[in-house]
Amino acid sequence: MSRRILLVPAHPHVGLTAACLGLAHALDERGVDVGYAKPLAQTRHHGGSGHAGELFRLTTPLRPPEPVPAQRVQELLSEGRIDSLMLEMLATCEDVLDQHELVLLEGLAPGEDQALPEHVNVELSRALDAHVLIVGSARGKDPSRLANQLAAMAGSFNGPAGSRVIGAVVNRIEHEDDHGHGLKDPEPLVAPYREALAEKGLRLAAGILVDDELARPRVRDLTHGLGLQVINHGDDTRRIGGVAIAAQSVPGFLPSLVAGRLILVPGDRHEVLLSAALAEMSGTRLAAVVLTADVRPDPQVLELCRPALGCGLPVLFSRAKTFETAAQVLDLDPEIPADDEDRARRVMQIMATAYDETWLAELKALPTRIRITPAHYELATRHALGRGRYTVALAEGSAPAQVAAAVALSEASRVRCVLVASTTDVTRTAAELGLDLPPDVLIVDPQREDKRLVIALRSVRPGLSAAEAGELLRDPLTTALLLLKIQDVDGVVGGELHGSRPLVGLAEEIIGRRSDVMTVSSSHLMMLPDGVVAYADCVVVSEPSGMELACIASQTANAVERVRIPARVAFVAPSRAHADAPRARARVQEAVAMIRDRRPDLIVDGPLPFEAAASVAKARLLTPDSPLQGQATVFVFPDLATGNATYKAVRRSSGAHVIGPILQGLNKPVNAPPRDASVSEVIDTVVATALQASQLG
């Protein structure tokens, strides 16, 4: 699994893409297999939505994916659909995340036209489970002020293992030398920022001095950026090294006619244009002349300037007044244009040399992902369901939540539903909800005799008379399970009226338990902000034996691994209030020994206090030698009461979205939604059932 570093800006114009380019180059030179992506597009760039990616394609062998378009980003943010945005983001980055040892991800930069970038960057760090590198600019800020600002921002980026922030880049450190990379020893200028950051618990990864040479745009960038008209193209690759406004007469203005200077002058100041032309003819390569105030030069004067124009002097035209044009020039977007390879390569190389060697070396030791985030889980689910169309029977098919869920799933083209209920009842419910039943939502009326189901039922209960079988088949849950047995459907979702325990008994009888498990159990998937974890068993097995606990752990580990969650199993210790805590603890110890013997591939520990299993900080305090180190993804509880109480407490305190209970150990997928389930909870249960069907083949 890849290591991920998300680079986020502390404020506007920090040189975020340049910091990414430099870090990618530095890592590549040290033999690290590095990838890059900018997951979300900005709205302001000369190169469009994929501007940063174009720079990487221009200067490196990398081929970053296209980001989620800026318009789509704004649309989803305005609708409050941050989860959908994170899912689309992961879908665009999926390949690059899988292909490289370490992936750099460029966050969203703040701006007037981009909503809530800091909030979005926090969500990006969670969805990607990424380490964070903060990039700030020292321009106009003393070390103490900048350190305070970066430290305040760092507090937003906390994950399961504490702060995600692994360092800070301080760009544009000011000095008197106009060519910062030429200083023999920049350390005296960088050191105050390093010390100020250290006082705030932050590490300086790179300190970069201001280098005006690297900020020089080309004349063509000015033309495109300000929408200027071209009187003479000339050599529009010339770089602008300064701006001079021709306010004096020619003798007083002559010292301003130096190489690289951009001359701004009203269009009727012909003597200045002629002077610039003479300077060009004498070998002084001005950047360009911009004629302002909506006054075009006299054609005869232009003809006198023809030799200079032929030597490459660009002449541009602005309708704005001179000082207004000057303000626009100074406000030109400082980002590197996507076609400026020379400037991009120089920036990349200088930024790369600024990164601290020790810090770079330590990046190889960054921990890889241990958990997957809710967005990763949703993406894995979509991929699994995308390989086929799965049909799930809903055993309480006339219940409003189940009818609404079936319609919603049909519209999303994810799962086809069979509603097991009276056709009249389903039709009435749909009408009351104002819904039209799509053609692919089927209805199976348990009142109608189906000889195939009678035969299937008699195979389970030999000796049943036809009348007895017909009576049993009037039960929608029995009918749904028999549909699964004869393979008319791929899974069953039992109605909330049945509860999980009666469902398990009937499902075991009709569908059967897998031969390699000794008990049917359940798990809940907790969609915590920083990762998806599984709790087992909180519903089915009241007082599991040591062997049953080991079986539950193995089943749950297999289930999470199928959705790409690395299984790290924590057996939770019984509470001190348990009626027979020593005996319960002995059962847990037996289970731990058993699963370590049978599943040496799993990282397992226990019995552990729940806090130590779930929190890195508590793990270091309470169980410093545990191989889990507070990074468990599967929590196995010693009894139903402990599991149920913990699950409810965590859900209540975290506000986490929960999927489950999900039954495990049956030959085919059968599940029950929570009691009084909402439409979304029914949808979650149906999708989880279809996912099990895809995994069981």
Q: How many helices (H) and strands (E) does the chain have?
A: 28, 24
Domain that holds residue 534: 520-665
**pLDDT digit string (tens) for 395-428?**
999 999 999 999 999 887 778 999 999 999 999 9
User: Coil, helix or strand for 428?
Assistant: helix
Residues 171 and 270 in one domain: no
Query: CATH number for the domain including 279?
Result: 3.40.1390.20
Residues 245 and 108 in one domain: no
Q: Is the pLDDT of residue 367 over 80?
A: no
Which band of pLDDT confidence, cut at 50, 70 and 90, is reported for residue 690?
very high
- Classify the C-alpha dihedral 318-324-329-333 as positive or negative: negative
Give the lowest-confidence range in 293-297, 436-440, 613-617: 613-617
| Residue in 610, 509, 501, 592 with CA at minimum distance from that of residue 552 | 592
Alpha helices in 416-530 (DSSP H): 423-433, 451-460, 466-472, 476-485, 500-510
Is the entire prediction scored with pTM above 0.85?
no
Residue 46's pLDDT band (boundaries 50, 70, 90)?
very low
C-alpha span between 206 and 421 (Å, rounded): 66
Q: In this structure, what CATH number is given to the domain that contains residue 139?
A: 3.40.50.300
Share of the chain above pLDDT 90, in %: 54
Report yes or no: 542 and 579 within 8 Å, Cβ to Cβ.
Answer: no
How deeply is 460 buried, as exposed, middle or buried, from its count of CB atoms within 10 A (0-12, 13-18, 19+)? middle
**Residue 371 reports pLDDT greater than 80:** no
User: With 90 as the cut, is the pLDDT of residue 38 above it?
Assistant: yes
CATH number, domain containing residue 442: 3.40.50.10950
Pairing of strands 657-664, 521-528: antiparallel
- Residue 531 tokens read as 């990762």
Q: Which residues 6+ apart lie within 8 Å of 10 measured at CB?
A: 134, 135, 136, 137, 149, 150, 153
The stretch 437-465 carries a mean pLDDT of: 88
Are 585 and 482 within one domain? no
Which ranges of 200-260 would DSSP assign to H, the alpha helix? 219-226, 250-253
User: Is residue 521 within 8 Å of residue 542, measured between CB atoms?
Assistant: no
Q: Are residues 697 and 643 in the same domain?
A: no
**Position 49 confidence tier, pLDDT thresholds 50, 70, 90:** very low
Relative to beta strand 261-266, strand 288-292 is parallel
Does 173 share its domain with 270?
A: no
Closest CA to 396 of 684, 675, 665, 659: 675
Do both 205 and 255 map to the same domain?
A: no
Q: Are 557 and 417 found together in one domain?
A: no
500 pLDDT band (50/70/90 cuts)? low
Does residue 508 share a domain with residue 561? no
Q: Is residue 111 classed as helix, strand or coil in its secondary structure?
A: strand
Same domain for 645 and 678, yes or no, is: no
Q: Are residues 271 and 318 in the same domain?
A: yes
Residue 542: per-residue pLDDT? 87
Tens digit of each residue's pLDDT (9 = 90 or more) over 519-544 = 999 999 999 887 899 999 988 888 99
Q: Is 289 left (phi over 0), alpha (psi -120 to 50) or beta?
A: beta
Determine the Cα–Cα distance for residues 697 and 691; give it in Å rounded to an integer.
10
Mean pLDDT, residues 436-460 taken together: 89
**Same domain, residue pair 660 and 672:** no
Q: What is the rounded CA–CA span in Å between residue 196 and residue 239?
A: 36
The per-residue DSSP string of 606-658 comes to EEE-HHHHH-HHHHHHH-TT-SSTT--SEEE-SSHHHHHHHHHHHHHHH--EE
Sign of CA dihedral 612, 615, 616, 621: negative
Last residue of a domain, one of 330, 352, 381: 330
Q: How far apart are CA 192 and CA 462, in angstroms?
A: 85
Domains: count for the chain: 4
Of 179, 178, 171, 176, the C-alpha closest to 208 is 171
Per-residue tokens: 289: 């002349």
Non-local CB neighbours of 3 within 8 Å, separated by 6+ positions: 101, 102, 103, 131, 363, 366, 367, 368, 369
Examine the domain organization and report whether 244 and 322 are in the same domain.
Answer: yes
